[in-house]
Amino acid sequence: MYKLIKKCGNARRGEFTTVHGTVQTPAFMNVGTCAAIKGGLSSYDLDEIRCQVELCNTYHLHVRPGDELIKELGGLHKFMGWDKPILTDSGGFQVFSLAKLRNIKEEGVTFSSHIDGRKIFMGPEESMRIQSNLASTIAMAFDECVENPAPYKYSKESCERTTRWLYRCKEEMERLNSLHDTLNKKQMLFGINQGCTYDDLRIEHMQKIAELDLDGYAIGGLAVGEPKEDMYRIISAVEPYMPKEKPRYLMGVGTPGNIIEAVSRGVDIFDCVMPSRNARHGHLFTWDGIINLNNAKFENDSEPIEPGCQCPTCQRHSKAYIRHLFKAKEVLGLRLAVTHNLYFYNTLMERIREALDNDTFDEFKEKYVDLLDARKK
């Protein structure tokens, strides 16, 4: 259940209550693709980095270790040791980006596993069953994620199929939630808006899926190659048609600047692999911009990544030490860098919420929207 606490322009300060606890929004979900955050963080480290929601990938967990095994072991929460909300994606994005030799039909998609090449079929019902086995807090609808740019005709047809798939998702999720042996009988379902970069398709699709009264609505198919101006334009075009009383999730986005812009346009929830991927390359976020730890000037820098930062890494370790760990290919370097970047993203959201609470979001946006995405001067 989503409660809108306050609006500042289009930006929303809210609370989203689930069976696994309440999420303060705007919120950033921390990505644990294979039931683990990349870089060696355990679920037991997530409180310390102020994570509210963990996101896991349905496709990855279906192919390994298998969703039935996870169900047998008591579901994803128990499997990875995290009792707060978990969102699972639908598998759709990975089917269309990772898997090979795919064949799309009305029933669903046949594809080859990227692990062992075996043939897998996934449609709306299969995606719901897998996510029900995983017993996540929030399941995502199975959709087709079309690359940008895409022809108008194909985009429209794909969108219409995604709508039909959504009806099947909802029906199957309701059936699964009513079953005797379902682990999470209150599993939520979010619909996903598609329509590539065409405003009219986006709006028409949003209007149709809004009718279904789902637990939340996502904007999908963005941040997949289009200019960021297109992304912002589409969010602004679609937002008026998104139910006000439901959380809105912008999938796979993005830089701190992207997130601030999207919040200002009415988005509540985000996820992105950027903080961990950047960390892997030594690119670390600070409130003065991004630093590259590989830079030789940090070799003898005894200061933390960001002086004053309260993250476990900055409380304990210097740039010189972490840089050394990167050079020596010690995985501890990765863990410390990912810890800092995820803490940065989670506290970015805290500061956005504070700014909304204090009616200072416009000043916050003006100060940080470009600064945080740029190299530190």
Residues involved in catalysis: 89, 271
> Exposure of 164 by Cβ count < 10 A (0-12 exposed, 13-18 middle, 19+ buried)?
exposed
Question: Which member of 238, 325, 337, 342 binds its own copies (CB under 8 A)?
Answer: 325
Stretch 154-173: interaction string toward its own copies, x if CB under 8 A: --------------------
Question: Which member of 27, 46, 49, 80 binds its own copies (CB under 8 A)?
Answer: 80
Q: Which stretch binds its own copies (CB under 8 A): 70-78, 204-212, 223-231, 236-244?
A: 70-78
81 contributes a contact to its own copies by CB under 8 A: yes
- Tokens in use for 104? 């799309």
Q: Could you count the other beta carbons within 10 Å of the beta carbon of residue 225?
A: 11
Measured from the CB atom, the residue of 41 and 196 that comes closer to its own copies is 41
Q: Which stretch binds its own copies (CB under 8 A): 14-22, 64-72, 145-153, 202-210?
A: 64-72
Measured from the CB atom, the residue of 74 and 240 that comes closer to its own copies is 74
Helices 124-134 and 152-177 sit at what angle, rounded to 10 degrees? 50
Measured from the CB atom, the residue of 226 and 301 that comes closer to its own copies is 301
Measured from the CB atom, the residue of 106 and 116 that comes closer to its own copies is 116
Please name the residues in contact with 296: beta carbons below 8 A apart, sequence gap of 6 or more: none
Question: Which member of 212, 321, 351, 369 binds its own copies (CB under 8 A)?
Answer: 321
Please name the residues in contact with 346: beta carbons below 8 A apart, sequence gap of 6 or more: 28, 30, 49, 50, 51, 52
74 contributes a contact to its own copies by CB under 8 A: yes
Please tell me the distance from the alpha carbon of residue 52 to that of residue 49, in angstroms, as a whole number: 9
Residues 4-63 within binding reach of its own copies (CB under 8 A): 34-42, 44, 60
Question: Which member of 332, 350, 351, 354 binds its own copies (CB under 8 A)?
Answer: 332
Question: Which member of 5, 69, 273, 374 binds its own copies (CB under 8 A)?
Answer: 69
**Contact yes or no for 82/52 (Cβ under 8 A):** no
**Contact yes or no for 222/253 (Cβ under 8 A):** yes
Question: SS3 for 366?
Answer: helix
Measured from the CB atom, the residue of 65 and 257 that comes closer to its own copies is 65
> Exposure of 345 by Cβ count < 10 A (0-12 exposed, 13-18 middle, 19+ buried)?
buried
104 contributes a contact to its own copies by CB under 8 A: no
| Alpha-carbon distances, residue 217 vs 188, 211, 239, 241 (angstroms) | 11, 11, 10, 11
**Strands 289-292, 2-8: parallel, antiparallel or unpaired by DSSP?**
unpaired
Question: Which member of 156, 335, 340, 365 binds its own copies (CB under 8 A)?
Answer: 335
- Tokens in use for 317? 């370790």
Please tell me the distance from the alpha carbon of residue 234 to that of residue 124, in angstroms, as a whole number: 26
**Contact yes or no for 248/242 (Cβ under 8 A):** yes
Residues 297-316 within binding reach of its own copies (CB under 8 A): 299-300, 302, 312, 316
Measured from the CB atom, the residue of 130 and 222 that comes closer to its own copies is 130
Measured from the CB atom, the residue of 23 and 338 that comes closer to its own copies is 338
284 contributes a contact to its own copies by CB under 8 A: no
Please tell me the distance from the alpha carbon of residue 158 to that of residue 244, in angstroms, as a whole number: 26
Nearest distance from residue 36's CB to its own copies, in Å?
4
Q: Which stretch binds its own copies (CB under 8 A): 22-30, 165-173, 188-196, 328-336?
A: 328-336
318 contributes a contact to its own copies by CB under 8 A: yes
Nearest distance from residue 343's CB to its own copies, in Å?
15
Amino acid at 2: Y
Bridge partner residues of 355 (DSSP): none
Which residues make up the interface to its own copies (CB under 8 A)? 34-42, 44, 60, 64-65, 69, 72-74, 79-81, 299-300, 302, 312, 316-318, 320-321, 323-325, 327-328, 330-336
